[in-house]
Amino acid sequence: MGWSNWSGSVASPVATTLPQSEDELAHRVRTATKVRSTGAGHSFMPLCASDELILNLDALPGRITIAPDRETARIPAGWSIKRLTAALWDEGLALANQGDVNPQSLAGAMATGAHGTGVDLGNLSTMARGFRLIGADGEARWCDAGTDADLFQAQRLSRGMFGIATEIEAAVVPAFHRMVSACALMPRPTRVSISSGANSPRALPGSAAPRSAKPRCWPTAASPAS
């Protein structure tokens, strides 16, 4: 059975390969000529199709590491947004923004510039701070704003063109509840306090609800249940 994206609009005859280790992934990349990577296959364009090798990182071991300043985290690149936000939530942290669903992988969401809403909030790729990449030569390299900066900037919204990301350093913010103001189920808007920080959503003027107030009609953006 081959691979297809979420909608079935893009398909390949080969099934995804799930390396069990980074060494295996590197070997497979090194010995193949037409390599693509995929996360959840939620993109609609033909970005992941290959008739030779389509890699998926779901079987790669890895864990999240929160930086001591709690402003960034190193995350296995293949983790879904759902898994990531659940892990961050347990640490009292969140992504500043995300799209309307959460099965997509962090790597795929960044590589496609997936976005949520909010004029002051960047897309997922703006949260990138560094990448561990397996290049076409099978070698692992790290890039960030200070190390291989051109590669880092290109990788932020790469559509999978510059290597396979196995680990991503991303900006995180203190956990917050989003405002729900346009819900028909609510008699009037509920405004809840949110966090501060460069990547955080802004506090809303006139926000009077106590920090413990919870939106009443759907789960919060960063909630594991969302």
Ligand X SMILES: Cc1cc2nc3c(=O)[nH]c(=O)nc-3n(C[C@H](O)[C@H](O)[C@H](O)COP(=O)(O)OP(=O)(O)OC[C@H]3O[C@@H](n4cnc5c(N)ncnc54)[C@H](O)[C@@H]3O)c2cc1C
Residues that bind ligand X (CB under 6 A): 6, 36-43, 47-48, 57, 77-78, 99-101, 104-105, 107-109, 111-112, 114-115, 159-160, 164-165
- In whole angstroms, how far apart are CA 29 and each of 23, 58, 78? 10, 16, 16
Instruction: Report the residue number, 39 or 201, with the smaller CB distance to ligand X.
Output: 39
Nearer to ligand X by C-beta: 11 or 92?
A: 11
As given in the structure block, the two tokens for residue 165 are: 């990301």
> Least distance in Å: CB of 98 to ligand X?
8
Shortest distance (Å) from residue 3 CB to ligand X: 10
Q: Which is nearer to ligand X, 42 or 83 (CB)?
A: 42
| Residue 188 CB, nearest approach to ligand X (Å) | 27
Other CB atoms within 10 A of residue 108 CB: 28
Least distance between ligand X and beta carbon 130 (Å) = 13
Q: How far is the CB of 203 from ligand X (least distance, A)?
A: 24
Nearer to ligand X, 27 or 115 (CB): 115
Do residues 141 and 165 make contact, with C-beta atoms less than 8 angstroms apart?
no
For ligand X, the closer CB: 43 or 226: 43
